[in-house]
């Protein structure tokens, strides 16, 4: 489960802020339980257990379903892990250029293979697992993209003033791996190139459908990709990092932005244990984060 520091994540934080509810989670993690068993084992009334279970269920942490005799409800955990994304640190002394690039506004694709596809907020674009849909004019409406092999390239204008000094480039996007249906344990290595230079790789841990994405349309099936992990790739004067961890020594000077009128950003699938585990990109209409591909360029001008 992916959380942030907005009020939308508050129900999960509130659900976890209780010794009783944490004990309930620990007991359910050790095996499927019923409310009656929890009441007995924890020496609490069934009404107290029910009240705390409802809070955990509304937060999406526990699911309840009927067992074989349909007289009692079994309980199980809905999530395996929780990641909390904190706001980016902004450097106020720098000026900033900001670009929001829709998922479907790519400049080039290469060697795309199935499983693959595109979807807008209203419907799947073309057919599932047909690489030709990436050439359709309707691709510009895409808010979700997935493929097992290949690369996708976006072209971003470089509008840094001529006398300015680039200080940092930050890319932000919601991404997961790709599995024909969904698989929360399906790690994938993703490569990143800028202006045809390889800047490093990072990993995403799965193709998630343990809970529905906050923005994912109702028509999208529960057993397909629901949300991704928010990745922030930063290139500075020293190195390149993702979410605060260094991934390479590639630095801003190597991009030579002063000599380029555009910035080409390429994301592609790398081999993971000799297999391709794909990538899925989420735009404003899918997943947990209300954003497209975000590009921030920080620069300083002479005083």
Peptide bond connecting 115 to the previous residue in cis, omega within 30 degrees of 0? yes
Residues linked to residue 200 through DSSP beta bridges, in sequence order: 192
**Cα 13 to Cα 229: distance, rounded to the nearest angstrom:** 19
What pLDDT digit, counting tens, does each position of 232-248 carry? 999 999 999 999 999 99
What pLDDT digit, counting tens, does each position of 192-220 carry? 999 999 999 999 999 999 999 999 999 99
Helix, strand, coil shares of the chain as percentages rounded to 5? 20, 40, 40
Cα separation values, 49 from 3, 11, 33, 136, 239, Å: 26, 18, 12, 54, 51
Angle ∠(154,126,280) on CA atoms, nearest 5: 45
pLDDT tier for residue 34 given thresholds of 50, 70 and 90: confident
What pLDDT digit, counting tens, does each position of 124-160 carry? 999 999 999 999 999 999 999 999 999 999 999 989 9
């Amino acid at each position: 489960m992916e959380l942030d520091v907005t009020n939308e994540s508050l129900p999960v934080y509130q659900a976890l802020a209780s010794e009783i509810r944490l004990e309930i989670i620990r007991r359910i993690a050790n095996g499927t339980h019923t409310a009656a068993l929890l009441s007995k084992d924890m020496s609490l009334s069934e009404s107290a257990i029910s009240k705390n279970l409802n809070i955990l269920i509304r937060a999406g942490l526990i699911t309840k379903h009927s067992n074989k005799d349909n007289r009692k409800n079994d309980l199980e955990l809905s999530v395996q892990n929780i990641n909390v994304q904190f706001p980016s640190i902004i450097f106020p002394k720098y000026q900033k250029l900001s670009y929001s690039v829709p998922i479907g506004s790519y400049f080039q694709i290469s060697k795309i293979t199935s499983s693959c596809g595109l979807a807008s907020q209203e419907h799947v674009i073309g057919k599932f697992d047909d690489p030709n849909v990436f050439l359709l004019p309707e691709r510009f409406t895409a808010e979700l993209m997935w493929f097992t092999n290949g690369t996708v390239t976006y072209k971003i204008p470089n509008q840094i003033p001529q006398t300015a000094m680039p200080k940092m480039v930050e890319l932000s996007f919601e991404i997961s791996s790709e599995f024909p249906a969904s698989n929360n344990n399906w790690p994938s290595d993703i490569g990143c190139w800028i202006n045809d230079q390889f800047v490093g790789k990072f990993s995403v841990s799965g193709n998630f459908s343990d809970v529905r994405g906050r923005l994912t349309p109702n028509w999208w099936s529960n057993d397909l990709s629901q949300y991704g992990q928010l990745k922030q790739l930063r290139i500075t004067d020293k190195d390149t990092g993702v979410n605060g961890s260094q991934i390479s020594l590639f630095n801003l000077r190597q991009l030579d932005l002063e000599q380029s009128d555009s910035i080409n950003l390429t994301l592609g699938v790398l081999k993971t244990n000799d297999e391709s585990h794909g990538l899925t990109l989420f735009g404003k209409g899918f997943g947990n984060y209300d954003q497209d591909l975000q590009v921030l360029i920080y620069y300083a001008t002479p005083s």
